[in-house]
Structure 1
Amino acid sequence: MAASSEEQRTTTRDSIYRAARSIKRRDNSLYNALRSIYQDSLFVHEISQLWPMLPLLANLRCGLWYSPRFDATCYFKSTDGHTNNLSFNTSRLNLHLPLLAGEKGGCIIIDSTRKGKRFPDSMSKTIPIWSCVLNRSIFNHLKRLCNTDAGLPSDDDLDGDKIRQVLDKWDCSLHLPLWVSNTERASIEARLDEWTRELDESGADIASLASCLRKPLRPLWVSQKTVIWLNAVPEPDSWDFTPLILVSASVSGELQHRTNSEFSWNYIPGAGDDEESWARGLSPNVFWTHVDDLIHWGPDLCNQKVAEIVENDRVYRAQRGQEAPQVVVKCSKSNGKVNHAKSDEIMSLSTSKPKIGMMIVDEDNLVSWLASTNLAVGASLVAGKVTSIDCILNCDQNPISVPLSYLEEHLHLPMKGSKYDRFSISRELGSAVNFAKLKMSSGKKLLVCCQDGEDISVCVCLAILMSLFNQEGAFDGGKSFEEKSITKMEMRRVLIFICKYAVNARPSRGNLRQVFGFLSSQLENSDQ
């Protein structure tokens, strides 16, 4: 009897758990997510119109859903601002952002979060830490110039007196939002000197930032609960700093039931986050191409119409030789029969689509030349179309269509990220470096590409630069490799050089670890 009662309680708990999950899946339906994103985009548009002269940036990846048009992207991770995990990551310096802000007088950055907060940690702490460290590093650079009475390499040709005027007004203090505790503020301030020293030692081009920024960077926070007096909106030029206007797109809180004249739907805060779990292969640019239809079709037809849109987009790209994997439909089974209902708990779509960071730039900008090294990094979907290259090293899982003239100058080494295979990159790096050495020794220009041009191809370029180039950045075919000390600091310095030109570079820690292991083993073998 006791055993039977225990089994009954377990069955009841399981039933309640399944019902709760079913309700959650229904509330987080595809239509609810898309409708919530569209609703929040109206607020984003409203804020962008307050300062139309400032460029609009999406913080990858969530932020990219909230507007059909962005001027650029940036990549600040919330994990770098998590309590007890605070860090200043030199692998994600986003140095294009201060250059753009200095040129335009500031910028607006869009992001969101699902966790019930008004702002994601990327905006509450990661960006404030980043801007403070950059300000301190620029201040140190200007101070050194002032002490040597040298001028800045800029059109204004600042002399010592003008540099002193800038230094007198330069703010190096830490600016955090009010909701960050004093304890956490103190913890951050205690590490600012360490982080500034790491930036100074990383080899980042601080001189270019100093010549572009005339006022220090400073974050400002705007959410849907922020009160803005429309008749008193300040101009960026009136501030004594370069504003980074951090806009959290969503209303904080729990799911909210909303009704209009056509449909009832549930508002999801931060709906653009974690797109793999809900987007069914839809990407931001495809969403905004069909946004009116998707909103008009309503919740009953949304899943079906999204499937059609995603497949039509796949066919369109496949006909043009672009990355276009087949969409997979997974159906759950009930009583041994396939259930063809269109509800969220039954059908899901998944696809290995191009990364969203690629969707807001034209094809020419998907290839980044690394200064004068004859080495470029880019996305595989345009690799065969770039006329300025001589040879291609394709690290994508899928082969690419290349002109007949490239058949002898093309090598396909399919690689997986460390999330799927811990040794895939390190196994192929030897062949990749040898191919690069063979082609670049005769002065040929090499493009290294992968699906998104942001991770694996960046890691391969890092291995090539470390293996075949000297400290001054000149190709020597590996003659100076044995004299190098393969350290994480040296790898970081070369990675920062790559990121200066490939601004969308986002190599993962696991993939970088494979590069470090490969280089270390190569150095050990050369010593034997």
Structure 2
Amino acid sequence: MEDERLSIYRASRTIKRRDNSLYNALRSIYEDSIFVGEIAQLWPELPLLANLRCGLWYSSQFQSSCYFKSTDGHTNNWSFNTSRLNLHVAVLAGQKGGCIIVDSTRKGKRFPDSMSKTIPIWTCVLNRSIKNHRMRVHEVGIQVHGHESNTYCQHTEDTGQVLPDWDCSLHLPLWVSETEKTAIEERLDVWTKQLESSGADILSLASSLKKPLRPLWISQKTVIWLNEVPECSSWDFTPIILVSASSSSGNFQHRTTSEFSWNYIPGAGDDEESWARGLSPSLFWNHVYDLINSGPESCNQKVADIVEKDRVYRAQRGQNAPQISIKHSQLSGGFSTFYAEELKMECGIPCIANEAKSFGDNGQIFWLGSTNLAVSATQIAANVPDVDCILNCGTESLSVSLDNPEKYLRLPIMNSKLDRFSLLRNMPSALNFAKINLRRGKRLLLCCNSGEDISICVSLAILTSLFTDEGLFDDGKSFDHTRITKLEMRKRLVFICKFAVNARPSRGNLRQVFNFISGGSVGSFP
């Protein structure tokens, strides 16, 4: 009997592996992308955003990306996370009149929890903070100018700013129960206070948004009458259109074309490490028709060839200087921000390769999007003239031939899932390298494999340890580890994420930074 059960188990596993094959995943993504394209054409003026990481597979036409986690919307685990504010999404929506966010789910649901609850909570908290900000400005205006309260209504209508009936209610989809909605509403005031105390730039949000944010939901089951699609400008809110790319008609649906039979996988773009075999969304869209037409039998070898060819190509790129441009803008308070963009296109959008923050006149912190570009440190420094030295925190090395070895340091820091204390062990060396060079007035470029996690966390440690609250380098003279709280850390992280909009620091790495800075024991970092 036991052998019989084991045989059944093995057979079911074999069937599941066959159904969840690489070709099935890629073909499912391609079929779902057609639906995403149709929705994008309904509102062509709205920017199309991918919710990382799964959503990035479903179009080659994304203008930007965001990061809303489903875990922040899980029942009884609702959260508004200041480590993932996504304020650039709200600003972009305000500038363009709304936006479209694409994600997917393979759990048999029509929408992932990131769309059902995480984003609705986010829009509501931002709306409340904006209204609070406007009311404070209004109260100050009355005190200074002696205006009556009805003067504010006329003033805001004339300037197109927030109206008195600014919608701050929680908008959830119909499938979320009233009990759950009530439980979420009870937490909104706390989350709003957390946002306002985090140091987030509410002023920029209030300036960008003329109408309150509001989510709308579209799936493959949504009925849309093409002759009745409303103009975005006709709505009394700024729409955040949430598009769930996948079909929810079943986990595995057998489909047949004139050439191949294959099985549809809902949410196939999720958990790419388990199925993609090194293929990235950009590589997929660069070779999409070859891959789809290759069929189930040839797909694996086709992907292997594409991935290997790309690896060789990237390794050879060290022979050619990367194309990097600098554009400079001034911020209030004497701060300067530098943005460097790599000019090559991936998935049809400019790939951000570098963002940098200048603190006062004594030094600058830079971080690169990825060391996977395999360019030499000498060429990076030559093409970004404001860089004097490089701190590489990635596991991949850069080809370095700088004239002074003190200008380059490589610390191969591992992800916290692979090594829980790798960042903590390397932090003293990173801080010492930064301190020596910033003390000399040198400009520091900081990079890691992705530019989303480790380099952000090291930047957070440097900013906290070596700079004043006003953002001026003081060699750590004002630093006092006994006064560093999680709130203070969050404020600095929010400040960094304002410029590194793709930042996705992991909780494990943030925990290590807090432990190092505070001098305490390893604990949680919410």
Q: Which of the five TM-score ranges fits, normalised by the shorter chain?
A: 0.7 to 0.9
- When the two structures are superposed, what TM-score results if normalisation uses the length of structure 1? 0.87
In the alignment, what sits opposite 1:433? 431
Q: Kindly indicate whether residue 204 of structure 2 is the aligned counterpart of residue 208 of structure 1.
A: yes
TM-superposed CA distance for 1:383, in Å, is 7.3
**Cα distance in structure 2, aligned partners of 1:91 and 1:313:** 33
**Cα distance in structure 2, aligned partners of 1:177 and 1:239:** 18
Q: Kindly indicate whether residue 258 of structure 2 is the aligned counterpart of residue 261 of structure 1.
A: yes
**TM alignment of 1:78-227, pairs within 5 A:** 78-149=70-141, 160=152, 161-163=154-156, 166-227=162-223
In the alignment, what sits opposite 2:356? 369
Q: Kindly indicate whether residue 38 of structure 2 is the aligned counterpart of residue 51 of structure 1.
A: no
In the alignment, what sits opposite 2:418? 420
* Deviation by residue 1:286-335 (Cα, 9 ceiling, x = unmatched): 0001101111111110011111111011111111139xxxxxxxxxxxxx
TM-superposed CA distance for 1:477, in Å, is 0.6
One-letter amino acid of the counterpart of residue 488, structure 1: K
Question: Which segment drifts farther, 476-485 or 129-138?
Answer: 476-485
TM-superposed CA distance for 1:96, in Å, is 0.5
* Deviation by residue 1:154-203 (Cα, 9 ceiling, x = unmatched): xxxxx944337733231000000000011110010000000001001111
In the alignment, what sits opposite 2:389? 391
- Specify whether residues 359 and 44 from structure 1 end up closer, same or farther in structure 2 by C-alpha distance, changes over 3 A only: closer
In the alignment, what sits opposite 1:496? 494
Question: SS in structure 1 opposite 2:395?
Answer: coil
In the alignment, what sits opposite 1:303? 300
**Cα distance in structure 2, aligned partners of 1:497 and 1:448:** 17
Question: SS in structure 2 opposite 1:463?
Answer: helix
**Cα distance in structure 2, aligned partners of 1:361 and 1:498:** 23
**Cα distance in structure 1, aligned partners of 2:432 and 2:278:** 37
Q: Is the 8 A contact 1:113 1:120 kept in 2?
A: yes
**Cα distance in structure 2, aligned partners of 1:445 and 1:482:** 24
One-letter amino acid of the counterpart of residue 81, structure 2: N
**TM alignment of 1:243-322, pairs within 5 A:** 243-252=239-248, 253-321=250-318
- Specify whether residues 147 and 314 from structure 1 end up closer, same or farther in structure 2 by C-alpha distance, changes over 3 A only: same
One-letter amino acid of the counterpart of residue 134, structure 1: L
**Cα distance in structure 2, aligned partners of 1:478 and 1:69:** 45
One-letter amino acid of the counterpart of residue 520, structure 1: S
In the alignment, what sits opposite 1:329? none
Q: Is the 8 A contact 1:143 1:167 kept in 2?
A: no
Q: Kindly indicate whether residue 35 of structure 2 is the aligned counterpart of residue 39 of structure 1.
A: no
Query: Identity, % of aligned pairs?
Result: 67
Q: Structure 2: 5+ residue runs without aligned partners?
A: 144-150, 320-344, 522-526
Q: Is the 8 A contact 1:222 1:247 kept in 2?
A: yes
In the alignment, what sits opposite 2:335? none
**Cα distance in structure 2, aligned partners of 1:12 and 1:119:** 38
**TM alignment of 1:473-484, pairs within 5 A:** 473-482=471-480
* Deviation by residue 1:408-459 (Cα, 9 ceiling, x = unmatched): 4110111012111111101111111111111111221111110000000000
In the alignment, what sits opposite 1:510? 508
TM-superposed CA distance for 1:406, in Å, is 6.3
Q: Structure 1: 5+ residue runs without aligned partners?
A: 1-8, 152-158, 323-356, 524-528
**TM alignment of 1:328-477, pairs within 5 A:** 362=350, 365-372=352-359, 374-378=364-368, 379-380=370-371, 381=373, 384=377, 385=380, 386-387=383-384, 388-405=386-403, 407-477=405-475
Q: Is the 8 A contact 1:146 1:163 kept in 2?
A: no
- Specify whether residues 287 and 358 from structure 1 end up closer, same or farther in structure 2 by C-alpha distance, changes over 3 A only: closer
Question: Which segment drifts farther, 483-492 or 212-221?
Answer: 483-492
TM-superposed CA distance for 1:64, in Å, is 0.2
Question: SS in structure 2 opposite 1:166?
Answer: coil
Where has structure 1 moved over 4 Å in runs of 4 or more?
357-361
Q: Is the 8 A contact 1:469 1:477 kept in 2?
A: yes
* Deviation by residue 1:216-244 (Cα, 9 ceiling, x = unmatched): 00000000110111001111111000000
TM-superposed CA distance for 1:260, in Å, is 1.0
**Cα distance in structure 2, aligned partners of 1:89 and 1:208:** 19
**Cα distance in structure 1, aligned partners of 2:109 and 2:416:** 31
* Deviation by residue 1:259-299 (Cα, 9 ceiling, x = unmatched): 11111111111110111111011000000011011111111
TM-superposed CA distance for 1:390, in Å, is 1.1
One-letter amino acid of the counterpart of residue 168, structure 1: P
Q: Is the 8 A contact 1:107 1:243 kept in 2?
A: yes
* Deviation by residue 1:9-36 (Cα, 9 ceiling, x = unmatched): 1111111111000000000111010000
- Specify whether residues 455 and 258 from structure 1 end up closer, same or farther in structure 2 by C-alpha distance, changes over 3 A only: same
One-letter amino acid of the counterpart of residue 308, structure 2: E
**Cα distance in structure 2, aligned partners of 1:113 and 1:296:** 25
**Cα distance in structure 2, aligned partners of 1:145 and 1:25:** 59
Question: SS in structure 2 opposite 1:376?
Answer: strand
**Cα distance in structure 2, aligned partners of 1:304 and 1:233:** 44
- When the two structures are superposed, what TM-score results if normalisation uses the length of structure 2? 0.87
**Cα distance in structure 2, aligned partners of 1:269 and 1:86:** 25
TM-superposed CA distance for 1:362, in Å, is 3.7
Q: Is the 8 A contact 2:49 2:102 kept in 1?
A: yes
In the alignment, what sits opposite 2:333? none
